[in-house]
Amino acid sequence: MRIALRVVVFLVGAWLAGSIAVAQTSSHAVDAEGHQWWQHAVFYEIYPRSFADSNNDGIGDLKGIASKLDYLEDLGVDAIWITPCFPSPQVDFGYDVSDYENIDPMYGTLADFDLLANEAKKRGIHIILDFVVNHTSDQHKWFLDSKSSSTSAHRDWYVWRDGKGPGEPPNNWVSTFGGSAWKFDPVTNQYYYHYFYAEQPDLNWRNPAVAGAMFDVTRWWYKRGVAGFRLDAVDTLFEDPDLRDNPILRPGTNHFGDPIEQDKFNTKLPEVHEVLRGLCKVADKSNAVLIGETWTADVAELNRYYGEGSNELQLPMDFLFTMVNKLSPAEFRKQIAAVNGASGWPTFVISNHDIVRSYDRYGDGEHNDQIAKLMAALYLTLRGTPIMYYGEEIGMKTTPPTRREDVKDPIGRTGWPEEKGRDGERTPMQWDGSENAGFSKGTPWLPVPATSKTHNVADEAKDPNSVLEFYKKVLKLRHANLALLEGNYAAVNESDANVLSYVRMYRDRGVVVALNMSNAPQKVTLELKATGFASAKSLLATGESGAKGNEVSLEPYGVFIGQLAK
């Protein structure tokens, strides 16, 4: 671990229940276990367009976020990751950045950002920004100059190539958003490369000037108080210099009518790690954290993103959970064991702005709220850092458009009806049961789902059995309980096909978590022998679930979290 290698800090002061004693040296503050702030923090992703609209133009904004900081603090959030809020033509809703060092007027101003950062700081909430490293907007001044002539100063900041022949792109690569990944520019008679939309030209990271400029962007924001970045689409930074054709995986076409390719020569090239080491060095000076959008296939790949001695990403997002789309104890056991064996600190994610919400992925249509609590109990009690997604804590549902003409996300229009795009998971946050769910007094940019009448912050805050109140309780426990904060992870009752159980142990303390992933009541005799404990006493349980000695009874989809005793 980076800490072990480079930080020699000793714990001073006594442990206070729920708070971490820290010692500050010239390097980073760590606790008794050598853990840094981001290892105990709960992160929360905010899609700014959809969170809270302060000026009633139908689009969320920074002042809106600031107005909800008390809510976030009360919920138990320690860091917010705001998806891109920089100036942008909004082709990909902000993931097409036209200026990295400003705020888009639709979200506010730099002064609003400073105010937000200041208010967040007062509440102990860190701010993480989204750094779109692979590409800029085609309206960024670098690209405008780049395309202006083949000898322009920024020409080599992007990937320009001659076609194979008239009307023929340089190779067979397809954009992940549909169509060829090459766009012809008649002014200079060359093609430029774009892994995403044509309005998102890829930067040429082989050019040291690009790296220099991009590293400077991070320094600029660190000076403004940003505590780290989520690095967008890092897999796609480099392309094969020889532009070899990608292999075709199988005959046929995808949702966009393109050949089905393996992105062998345009993703996950080893050069990306050099960039990550560079970004890490800069981040380290500000004690900042780097989260990566890393679509790793397995733990070997995940380990590469931690780097050697953790010199790349502290939190490469492990999306393995987002690929377990059924409530299967065996599957989860396997994934958890795998990330616990990884070389860095685990990161857990169950929802984000690009995938169907966890509420729908796991819900059975009947016990969805109970299952939402079960999933919260799972990923918020594991050893690792969870990254929540706004609305998950109230049981927000994915609500995709029903007509093509209503689709906002461009891929939903090109891929309709098979691919409906990502609007469904980006609908306005449901603050109350009023019209527009308290998100805006104007017309929201995406319709407010009908479920805002039953699932909203105001009503759930009054209901002790709501999804929201359950999240609050788990998060409170997580912040206060040393076994959950610091403890190791060990699976118990591993042959149980219905109930996922594990213990977290720290020194002489232990917590057991038992999760019934079936729709029938279950009884579990906890196999605690190896742990040195004999029984469990409830800390938090749903409905009728509870324990006597080492016998745990669980209602359908029930949760039991218990303190272990000798």
Q: Binding of ligand GLC at residue 485 (CB under 6 A)?
A: no
By rule CB under 6 A, what string of x and - marks binding of each residue 64-103 to ligand GLC?
A: ----------------------------x--x--------
Task: Give the sign of the dihedral formed by CA 414, CA 416, CA 419, CA 424.
Answer: positive
Catalytic residue among 199, 232, 409, 460: 232
Q: Out of 2, 30, 49, 61, which residue is the one contacting Ca ion (CB under 5 A)?
A: 61
Contacted entry of Ca ion, ligand GLC, none for residue 132, CB cut-off 5 to 8 Å set by kind: ligand GLC
Write the burial class of residue 167 (CB in 10 Å: 0-12 exposed, 13-18 middle, 19+ buried): exposed
The rounded distance, in Å, linking the Cα atoms of 467 and 275 is 41
Q: 96 vs 312, which CB is nearer to ligand GLC? A: 96
Residues 325-359 as b/e (b if ≥16 CB within 10 A, e otherwise) read eebebebbbebbebbbebbbbbbbbbbbbebbbbb
| Known catalytic residue at 73 | no
Q: 423 vs 486, which CB is nearer to Ca ion? A: 423
Contacted entry of Ca ion, ligand GLC, none for residue 232, CB cut-off 5 to 8 Å set by kind: ligand GLC
The rounded distance, in Å, linking the Cα atoms of 398 and 257 is 25
Q: 61 vs 555, which CB is nearer to Ca ion? A: 61
Q: Which residues, listed in sequence order, are joined to residue 501 by a DSSP beta bridge? A: 492, 514
User: What's the one-letter identity of residue 145?
Assistant: D
Nearest distance from C-beta of residue 345 to ligand GLC, angstroms: 22
Contacted entry of Ca ion, ligand GLC, none for residue 138, CB cut-off 5 to 8 Å set by kind: none
Q: 174 vs 482, which CB is nearer to ligand GLC? A: 174
Q: Which residues contact 253 (CB under 8 A, 6 or more apart)?
A: 259, 260
The rounded distance, in Å, linking the Cα atoms of 392 and 369 is 11
Q: Out of 168, 245, 354, 551, which residue is the one contacting ligand GLC (CB under 6 A)?
A: 354
Contacted entry of ligand GLC, Ca ion, none for residue 59, CB cut-off 5 to 8 Å set by kind: Ca ion
Nearest distance from C-beta of residue 386 to ligand GLC, angstroms: 18
Kind and range of the H or E element at 37? Answer: helix 37-40
Contacted entry of ligand GLC, Ca ion, none for residue 61, CB cut-off 5 to 8 Å set by kind: Ca ion
Nearest distance from C-beta of residue 235 to ligand GLC, angstroms: 9
Contacted entry of ligand GLC, Ca ion, none for residue 298, CB cut-off 5 to 8 Å set by kind: none
Contacted entry of ligand GLC, Ca ion, none for residue 57, CB cut-off 5 to 8 Å set by kind: Ca ion
Q: Binding of ligand GLC at residue 293 (CB under 6 A)?
A: yes
C-alpha 408: how far from its chain's center?
A: 22
Q: Which residues contact 309 (CB under 8 A, 6 or more apart)?
A: 1, 2, 5
Q: Which residues contact 207 (CB under 8 A, 6 or more apart)?
A: 156, 157
Note whether 547 and 558 are within 8 A (CB).
no
Reported as half-sphere exposure (CB side, CA atoms, 13 A), residue 507 has a value of 6
Distances (CA, A) of 422 to 93, 181, 247, 290, 452: 11, 21, 28, 25, 19
Q: Binding of ligand GLC at residue 392 (CB under 6 A)?
A: no
Note whether 126 and 228 are within 8 A (CB).
yes
Q: 61 vs 425, which CB is nearer to Ca ion? A: 61
By rule CB under 5 A, what string of x and - marks binding of each residue 305-324 to Ca ion?
A: --------------------
Nearest distance from C-beta of residue 57 to Ca ion, angstroms: 4
Catalytic residue among 96, 293, 393, 486: 293
Note whether 68 and 51 are within 8 A (CB).
yes
Q: Binding of ligand GLC at residue 196 (CB under 6 A)?
A: yes
Helices 299-306 and 329-340: crossing angle, nearest 10°?
Answer: 30
Q: 55 vs 518, which CB is nearer to Ca ion? A: 55
Helix (H, G, I), strand (E, B) or coil at 336: helix
The rounded distance, in Å, linking the Cα atoms of 447 and 439 is 11
Nearest distance from C-beta of residue 415 to ligand GLC, angstroms: 13
* 449 C-beta neighbours (distance < 10 Å), count: 18
Q: 293 vs 318, which CB is nearer to ligand GLC? A: 293
> Looking only at residues 218 through 237 of this chain, which bind ligand GLC when binding is defined by CB under 6 A?
232-233
User: Which residue number places its CB atom closest to ligand GLC?
Assistant: 95
Contacted entry of Ca ion, ligand GLC, none for residue 53, CB cut-off 5 to 8 Å set by kind: Ca ion
User: What's the one-letter identity of residue 563?
Assistant: Q
Q: 196 vs 238, which CB is nearer to ligand GLC? A: 196
State the residue for tokens 């397809």.
174
Nearest distance from C-beta of residue 456 to Ca ion, angstroms: 20
Nearest distance from C-beta of residue 353 to ligand GLC, angstroms: 6
- Kindly determine how many residues on this chain lie close enough to bind ligand GLC according to the rule CB under 6 A: 9
By rule CB under 5 A, what string of x and - marks binding of each residue 21-60 to Ca ion?
A: --------------------------------x-x-x-x-
Reported as half-sphere exposure (CB side, CA atoms, 13 A), residue 227 has a value of 20
> Looking only at residues 118 through 177 of this chain, which bind ligand GLC when binding is defined by CB under 6 A?
132
| Known catalytic residue at 494 | no
Helix (H, G, I), strand (E, B) or coil at 39: helix
Note whether 327 and 374 are within 8 A (CB).
yes
The rounded distance, in Å, linking the Cα atoms of 27 and 222 is 16
Backbone angles phi, psi at 231, to 5 degrees: -90, 120
* Per-residue tokens: 108: 């506010």
Q: 86 vs 192, which CB is nearer to Ca ion? A: 86
DSSP code of 30? Answer: B
Write the burial class of residue 226 (CB in 10 Å: 0-12 exposed, 13-18 middle, 19+ buried): buried
Q: Binding of ligand GLC at residue 315 (CB under 6 A)?
A: no
Nearest distance from C-beta of residue 429 to Ca ion, angstroms: 13
Q: 139 vs 340, which CB is nearer to ligand GLC? A: 139
- Kindly determine how many residues on this chain lie close enough to bind Ca ion according to the rule CB under 5 A: 5
Nearest distance from C-beta of residue 195 to ligand GLC, angstroms: 8
> Annotated active-site positions, please?
232, 293
Q: State the residues that interact with ligand GLC by CB under 6 A.
A: 92, 95, 132, 196, 232-233, 293, 353-354
Q: State the residues that interact with Ca ion by CB under 5 A.
A: 53, 55, 57, 59, 61
